[in-house]
Structure 1
Amino acid sequence: MIKSVVPNQWKLVVVDAKSLQILNSVCEIYDILDENVTLVESIERKRQPYTNLEAIYFISPTAESIDRLIADFQQRPLYAAANVFFTAALTDKLFQKLKRNNVSKHIKNLKELFVDFMAFESRVFNFDIPQSFNTFYNPSKTGEITYEVENVAKKLVSLLATLGEDPIIRYYDPNGDRRTIAARVAFQLENELENLRKMDPSFPPKTNYERTTLIVVDRTIDTSGPLVHEFTYQAMVNDLIGLENGSKYIQNGASGEKAVILDEKDDLWNKYRHTHIAEVSEEVSKQFNQFINENKAASSVAKGRQGLKELKDTIQALPQYHEMKDKFAVHIDLCQRCNNIFSKTNLSDIAKIEQDLITGLTSEGNVPKNIIMNMVPLLDNPDVDNYNKLRLLTLYIICYGGVPQEDLRKLIEHAHVSNSELDIISNFKYLGVNLKSSQLKDLNPKRGYDSMWEKEKIKRKLNKNDEEESYELSRYVSTLKYVMEDNIHNILNTTIFPATKEPGTHKKPEVETNLKGTSLRSTKPSWAKKSADHLRKRGPRTIIFVVGGLDYSEMRSVYELCNEYSRDIIIGSTHIITPISYM
């Protein structure tokens, strides 16, 4: 986009709040400034005119951004020309508005880029529309659902157009009535893709690979998983400490507060984010001690050597030393904070009950018998915060398929939670959770999907007697992991996951014969390209989309399956959730 506008000449970039988020998800501001860009400015703010420079407008196709673009050229133009790039398709109404105004003669380029999504990680995308959850599951907002379904479908088109994918679309439909939110989004997406095919004959681009499958699910497929305490590093940090936008950590040090970004550019975070906290604490400490012993700057400072050669070596090593020392300090701090919270808040006892509930078995493989007796002391304990009590109560209700009203009343009395907090439990009924029953049933946690491959694995384990080792407090496996694994093995239950169109009725992908002349839209994004060629030779790509929020356990499952099967899997959602934001 930036390189295509007046190459080798100075220009500036104008963004709105949403497009800036998209830019920040894939690059740094200094990356943009390196491309002969003098400034990156917000269209929402009053700006100084630069009539000698052309402007690149990277903006959302909204009425607000269009009005501000028009205002920039209404009387005295702010810039020499406007090169306009929209994050998604522009509606006919807004396009006509641009044509009717004076701004049209100042627009040198106008393109729709289909990039209306954010790259959260190398295998994770995100639309950052958490408000959609309330629209989809709030009975007072049923009139807004159609608009939200269209909005989500259009954003999915952006993703697929950027990836150059025209996938087989499957959707979660356990009752076979096409009434799930997943079904509505899937069929709207099929319509949007059909419109794109008609509008752009080059879509989908030619490919050598087998056709991708996109599986659309909604949060009702697993209502209990996001409530469970996770003890892998990334999930635990986001649950117990909290990171702004899932990546920004405010560290309190001797010199005051410091903002630290935890992402895939951080080697330690990238290496350990999906590792159990017990291992992370040990490995980070071990690696830090090894770094101190091997680093010239550290050893010179420690030994106090002042020879000229040693001093020169020390000076050369100092920048790397300080950078790595700071990184280690962040992760040591995070591990200590997580371990302290774990110890002080009875998380071990809470998590043991959670695992017994959601798996339906104890760590010894027996049916739990004393859940209530173990729960009540925790509900009575003032040191256990109310959110943890609510998580435990909600999980108990879900896994028992509802509880008698009198039993629930007694449990609530023990928990000492407020009426407004009880609404959290009550509102789970809008996700299809049965809250009440005439009598307490046997513990029978039901999944939104029963995995065929998991049943086969259990048989093999029973035959070979080779149970996999797992941490006692980390036995639960997310439902979505089972869905993805069945799809990889081509045994996904197509009654529960029907296709919007049977695969045989789709046009087969053509073989790619010429790689030249790729459009801006179809250029492969770097965040989804890592090792993709190698992985896609092993089988078709799988894309999972969750309407209603994606948790960190589900995110981790994608990386685990990619590593285990050497297959290309991408997951995304309307937004990223933590247990607290979910509740």
Structure 2
Amino acid sequence: MNVIQAVKLYVTKMAEESGPGMKVLLLDKQTTSIISMVYSQSEILQKEVYLFERLDAPGSVEPMKHLKCIVFIRPTKDNVGLLCNEIRNPRYGMYYIYFSNIISKTDIKTIAECDEIEVVREVQEFYGDYLAVSPHLFSLNVNGCYQGTRWNPLHLQRSVQGLVAVLLSLKKCPFIRFQAGSDMAKQLAEKVREVVAKEEVLFDFRHSEVAPLLLILDRRFDPITPLLTQWTYQAMVHELLTISNNRVNMSHVPGVSKELREVVLSSEHDDFYAENLYNNYGEIGQTTKELINEFQKKAKSQQKVESIADMKLFIENYPHFKKMSGTVSKHLMIIGELSNLVAKRSLLEVSEVEQEIACQDQHSHHLQRVRALISNQKIRHEEACRLVMLYALKYRRHSSHDISGLVDSLKKRGAPESIYGMVKSVCNFAFQEDNSNVTNLVNQEAVVKITKRFFKDIKGVENVYTQHMPALKDVVEDLIRGRLKEQTYPFLGNAPAGRRVQDIIAFIIGGITYEESLCIHQLNKSSVHGGARIVAGGTAVHSTETFIDEVATAMNYGACRLYN
């Protein structure tokens, strides 16, 4: 199972089915991001696609009847209306229309009625209705899906559509399990099953010996993972610089060149990134040095280089080395900025305490260390608050906890209410009870499981900054081994005859993290799990900032944001 290859295959088919000749690609805002995640512009140019246009930008080009138009859009009401306007007054010679998800027969009829001069040659459904971040990771790019303990209705609809597209693109008709105690997980599971039943012809795939399984979780099952400082390359970049649709905005870096104000980080098109995105902070420095040495060796093998000016001239004269030069420049800049932020924010010191709280049980020691860091003015308000959040999540039921005292310390150091107020919000988010006397959203067994993690023996841990393992790893491992209790994660409808699973799609309502993505990558690579194949996704891929925004929205924290 590979979501990047699934979406790429659709794009390739679109280009090939329209035949030879010059083409324009007509997209909407969402499908522009979907395609850019898996295809570079140079790769699409090789498919004879020479122009890219947005459906919602009418009249942006003059009519060009000699071009074929490939339309790839989401099947929304607005898009259908815009498409009808386009084919009533066509700017291009012929149209090949592909919807990224299931479209109603009524909308197809409407489009057909608008095609008065018969420019439409093809209408199909190609189910690439999600962002393929990595081969095993997908996102719907949806933030703020919670309204208390209920769904934002628009985000529920989008999540159903996204999950259905993932299943269809991977050709899976799964059994469904969901997190007990989460009404949102159960509702999403039911909505997905409704679509599968309604569209049974689309889901009529050849049955495998072991049925695939869709597991739906609620972010409340593990609120700790998104609060921890990350130390692998991909996760660090997202946490400190933000990765948005494979792009990183570096325009804030002093003296940055025009070419590097926005850089692309894609494992599909950047070999260095692909080889190092799961390496930790300490390893990245060494591999970057090796990259520079390799570049210098290749340069010297072609021409003697004795100065920076000679190097610049050499790169200009030998285009073959420009790509490698760009890779070196890009990653040196990123790693340099990461290093600056780690030092400026004292993240090594903060992270050590975070990991201790998450993985050990030493209340007095942890309370003392958190107090000390709060009083350290080198630590930002945001990091100080995260430490208090982790302490509160861990020790809220401890008889000697001092959560209120730590919050008072945040106030005294000058932290605004929008920051220290989030301590209570995060606890309420994680442990909120449903008034209908249903089990806690973080049900009792899940709470026990999370608590056990705090007591986990950490002997032999090589890196104190990466001790923590997300709860998702335990859940998926239990699922693979047939040990995941049905009381905690029940089936929706009938359960399969056997306990064995092979193909697993895990989805986290409220967002997934790159630390969890790393765990899924490691499970896929492991030989001890009987060849299990796992794809994971979420409503979004979170950094600490976006997760706290998600919590603020869920708890009706108004317009206040932790990060300004």
TM-score category by the smaller chain? Answer: 0.7 to 0.9
> Among the aligned pairs, what percent are the same residue?
19
2:556 counterpart residue number: none
Q: Which runs of 5+ in 2 are unaligned?
A: 1-12, 434-443, 549-564
Q: Aligned residue for 1:114? A: 127
Alpha-carbon contact 2:235-2:514 (below 8 Å) kept? yes
Which residue, 473, 482, 495 being the options, matches 1:503? 495
Q: Distance in 2 between matches of 1:268 and 1:570?
A: 23
Structure 1 match to 2:141: 128
Residue correspondence of structure 1 range 411-490 to structure 2 within 5 A: 411-429=409-427, 431-433=429-431, 448=446, 467-490=459-482
Q: What are the Cα deviations for residues 266-313 of structure 1, in whole angstroms up to 9, with x where unaligned?
A: 222111211120121123213422442355447632499x9xxxxxxx
The structural deviation recorded for 1:501 is: 2.5
Aligned equivalent of 1:156, options 153, 159, 163: 163
The residue that corresponds to 1:35 in the other structure is: 47
The answer (yes or no) to whether the contact 1:16–1:59 under 8 Å persists in 2 is yes
Residue 68 (structure 2) pairs with residue 54 (structure 1):
yes
Which SS does the other structure have where 1:2 is aligned?
A: helix
Distance 1:215 1:103 in 2: 46
Structure 2 vs 1, CA of residues 167 and 407 (structure 1 numbering), >3 Å: closer, same or farther? same
* Aligned positions of 1:70-469 closer than 5 A: 70-74=84-88, 76-102=89-115, 105-132=118-145, 136-138=146-148, 142=150, 145-173=152-180, 175=181, 179-197=182-200, 199-200=201-202, 203-206=203-206, 208=208, 210-250=210-250, 255-256=257-258, 258=260, 259-264=262-267, 265-293=269-297, 295-297=299-301, 300-302=304-306, 318-361=318-361, 367-401=362-396, 406-429=404-427, 431-433=429-431, 448=446, 467-469=459-461
Q: Distance between the aligned counterparts of 2:345 and 2:320, measured in 1?
A: 38
1:8 aligns with 2:6: no
Shift of 1:413: 2.7
**In structure 2, distance between residues paired with 1:319 and 1:52:** 34
Q: Distance in 2 between matches of 1:467 and 1:434?
A: 34
Structure 1: distance between partners of 2:374 and 2:187 = 40
TM-superposed deviation, 1:340:
3.0
Amino acid at match of 2:164: V
Q: Which residue of 1 aligns with 2:523?
A: 561
Distance apart, 1:474 and its partner CA = 1.7
Distance, in Å, in 1 between the alignment partners of 2:291 and 2:387 is: 36
Q: Give the SS at the match of 1:39.
A: strand
Instruction: Determine helix, strand or coil for the equivalent of 1:383.
Output: coil
Q: Which runs of 5+ in 1 are unaligned?
A: 307-313, 362-366, 436-445, 507-537
Aligned with residue 508 of structure 2, among 534, 546, 567? 546
Q: 1:16 and 1:376, CA in 2 relative to 1: closer, same or farther beyond 3 A?
A: same
Do the aligned residues in 1 keep the contact of 2:241 with 2:248 (CA within 8 Å)?
Answer: no
How far off its partner does 1:249 sit?
4.7
1:334-372: CA deviation from partner (whole Å, max 9, x where unpaired): 3333233223322232112211211134xxxxx353222
Partners of 1:335 and 1:434 in 2: CA distance: 39
Structure 1 pair 6/254, CA: closer, same or farther in 2 (3 Å)?
Answer: closer
On the 8 A contact 1:233/1:277 being kept in 2, the answer is yes
- Name which of structure 1's ranges 104-113 and 179-188 shifts more when overlaid on structure 2: 104-113
Matched AA of 2:461: E
CA distance in 2, matches of 1:152, 1:255: 39
Query: 1:543-565: CA deviations, max 9, x gaps?
Result: 21111111111011111112223
SS at match of 1:470: coil
RMSD of aligned alpha carbons: 3.4
Residue identity opposite 1:170 in structure 2: R
Please tell me whether the aligned partners of residues 25 and 71 of structure 2 are also in contact (alpha carbons under 8 angstroms).
Answer: yes
- Per-residue CA deviations over 1:483-504 (Å, capped at 9, x if unaligned) read 1222222222222111113333
* AA aligned opposite 1:63: K
Q: What residue number does 1:310 align with?
A: none
Report if aligned partners of 2:100, 2:129 keep a CA contact under 8 Å in 1.
yes
Measured against aligned partners, the alpha-carbon deviations of 1:519-556 in whole angstroms (never above 9, x if no partner) come to: xxxxxxxxxxxxxxxxxxx9712221111111111011
Please list the CA deviations of residues 5-34 of structure 1 after superposition, one character each: whole Å capped at 9, or x if unmatched. Answer: 441233322111111111112212333332
d(CA) in 2 for partners of 1:354, 1:471: 13
Distance in 2 between the 1:574 and 1:434 partners? 20
Contact 2:392 2:403 in 1 (8 A): no
Max Rg structure: 1
**572-581 or 383-392: bigger deviation:** 383-392
Residue 515 of structure 1: aligned partner: none
Judged with a 3 Å threshold, the aligned counterparts in structure 2 of structure 1 residues 37 and 341 are, in CA distance, closer, same or farther, namely closer
Q: Is the 8 A contact 1:398 1:434 kept in 2?
A: no
2:130·2:139 contact (CA, 8 Å) conserved in 1?
yes
CA contact (8 A) 1:451 1:483 kept: no
Instruction: Provide the C-alpha distance between the structure 1 equivalents of 2:209 and 2:301, rounded to a whole number of angstroms.
Output: 50
Q: Which amino acid aligns with 1:223?
A: P
Tell me the equivalent position of 1:522. none
- Aligned equivalents of 2:475, 2:492: Cα separation in 1: 18
Q: Contact (CA 8 Å) 1:127, 1:573: kept in 2 or not?
A: yes
Structure-1 separation of matches of 2:364 and 2:302: 55
Amino acid at match of 1:204: D
* 8 Å CA contact retained: 1:209, 1:540: no
Instruction: Mark the CA change 1:114 to 1:430 in structure 2 (over 3 Å): closer, same or farther.
Output: farther
Indicate if the aligned counterparts of 2:142 and 2:155 stay in contact, CA closer than 8 A: no
Q: For residues 17-75 of structure 1, what are the alpha-carbon distances to aligned partners after superposition, in whole Å with 9 as ceiling and x for unaligned?
A: 1111111122123333322334221111223212344322211111221121121233x
- Residues 68 and 380 of structure 1: is their aligned pair in 2 closer, same or farther, counting only changes over 3 Å? same
Q: Deviations over 1:132-154 (max 9, x none)?
A: 2xxx2446xx5x64453233112
The whole-number CA distance in structure 1 between the counterparts of 2:298 and 2:68 is 51
Alignment: residue pair count: 508
Q: How has the CA–CA distance of structure 1 residues 346 and 147 changed in structure 2, closer, same or farther, with 3 Å as cutoff?
A: closer
TM-score (norm 2): 0.81
8 Å Cα contact 2:392-2:427 kept in structure 1: no
Q: What is residue 571 of structure 1 aligned with on the other side?
A: 536
Contact kept, 8 Å, 1:449 with 1:479, in 2: the verdict is: no
Q: Which amino acid aligns with 2:490?
A: P
